[in-house]
């Protein structure tokens, strides 16, 4: 199988390469793709060196799969060109997520929707993936009615520039700013741009993508906050169900879902934290407790590495699903 990684020199692209290696996807050829300024650079993968190529060259090479992590504008322009040449594009940007003719996939939840005809497949937003991983089995059992989610999002979600800003601030160095304000020792209640309704684009992604993946009848209200953390995203989640639930049954359901790790033993100070989720592919859930202010309502704390399950790992898992189910050309 010939695989292109578009955006191979970027933060998520680098993690995609790591995940491809770790999961041992059967590659006959790797095609690292990046912008013009990176063409000709050398990428090392599985003890071999590869030259970075440009978009046109990559399209002509007709990869079986192209894993995109190069921004929405690039995806809108180039994903259809790859698809027209027979390549299946798995796109990590927001470009195609809400398109009615494109599927938004978390393999553990709705991979079964994929068919041979799907040539552009959308990877959900990082904060959405970890949320729906936990909500999906609970929705199947109790039917989710409303979700209130507050996120505590790693600076790695913004990219290398944000990591450098925080490091500069911690070392007293003036440098380029990824954010309008200092991020070290601070929380910024803005992820992405503000929209006319007063919510940010990131907050509306959580709303719209959760509804598309799980159920359009679910009401979602989100507040997304950037925090000076590197390891992953955290979410405080309040879920109202239509049906009554049992706490032990909730824990039992979540502990038996592949891709979820239950960490819910507060008596022994066991709960999810981004420092310990970093570098792992599972979604971690804990602080499970009943909302005592309202019936049929549950509180949860969800943590995941936003560069792995929130981006690279989910994309590679989609590729694995296509391969395992003979959905490639």
Tokens in use for 154?
Answer: 């790693």
Return d(Cα 313, Cα 258) in angstroms, integer.
14
In this structure, are residues 311 and 123 in contact, taking their beta carbons and an 8 Å threshold? yes
In this structure, are residues 287 and 264 in contact, taking their beta carbons and an 8 Å threshold? yes
In this structure, are residues 239 and 143 in contact, taking their beta carbons and an 8 Å threshold? no
Which of 112, 187, 191, 233 is the catalytic position? Answer: 233
Phi, then psi, of 275 in degrees rounded to 5: -60, -35
Which of 112, 126, 139, 187 is the catalytic position? Answer: 126
Respond yes or no: is residue 233 known to be catalytic: yes
User: Any idea which residue has 């990219």 for tokens?
Assistant: 159
Q: Are strands 103-104 and 120-122 parallel, antiparallel or unpaired?
A: parallel
Respond yes or no: is residue 139 known to be catalytic: no
The string of DSSP codes covering 264-306 is -BGGGTB---HHHHTT--SEEEEEEEE-TTSTTEEEEEEEE-T
Tokens in use for 97?
Answer: 């997520």
Active site residues: 126, 233
């Amino acid at each position: 199988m010939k695989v292109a990684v578009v955006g191979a020199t970027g933060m998520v692209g680098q993690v995609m390469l790591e995940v491809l290696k770790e999961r041992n996807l059967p590659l006959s050829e790797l095609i690292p793709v990046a912008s013009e300024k990176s063409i000709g650079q050398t990428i090392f993968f599985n003890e071999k060196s590869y030259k970075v190529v440009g978009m046109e060259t990559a399209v002509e090479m007709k990869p079986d799969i192209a894993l995109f992590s190069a921004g929405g504008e690039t995806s809108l322009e180039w994903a259809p060109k790859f698809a027209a040449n027979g390549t299946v594009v798995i796109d990590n940007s927001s470009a195609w997520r809400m398109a009615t003719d494109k599927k938004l996939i978390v393999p553990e939840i709705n991979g079964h929707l994929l068919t041979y005809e799907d040539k552009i497949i959308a990877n959900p937003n990082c904060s959405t993936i970890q949320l729906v991983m936990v909500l999906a089995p609970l929705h199947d059992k109790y039917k989710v009615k409303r979700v209130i989610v507050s996120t505590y999002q790693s600076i790695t979600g913004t990219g290398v520039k944000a990591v450098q800003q925080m490091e500069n601030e911690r070392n007293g160095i003036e440098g380029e700013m990824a954010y309008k304000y200092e991020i070290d020792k601070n929380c910024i209640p803005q992820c992405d741009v503000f929209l006319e309704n007063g919510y940010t684009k990131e907050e509306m992604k959580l709303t719209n993508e959760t509804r598309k993946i799980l159920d359009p009848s679910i009401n979602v209200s989100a507040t997304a906050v950037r925090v000076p953390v590197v390891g992953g995203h955290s979410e405080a989640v309040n879920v109202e169900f239509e049906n009554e639930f049992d706490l032990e049954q909730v824990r039992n359901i979540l502990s038996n879902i592949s891709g979820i790790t239950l960490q819910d033993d507060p008596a022994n100070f066991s709960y999810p934290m981004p420092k310990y989720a970093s570098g792992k592919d599972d979604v971690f859930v804990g602080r499970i407790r009943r909302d005592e202010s309202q019936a049929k309502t549950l509180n949860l704390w969800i943590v995941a590495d936003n560069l792995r399950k929130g981006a690279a790992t989910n994309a590679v898992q989609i590729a694995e699903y296509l391969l395992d189910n003979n959905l490639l050309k």
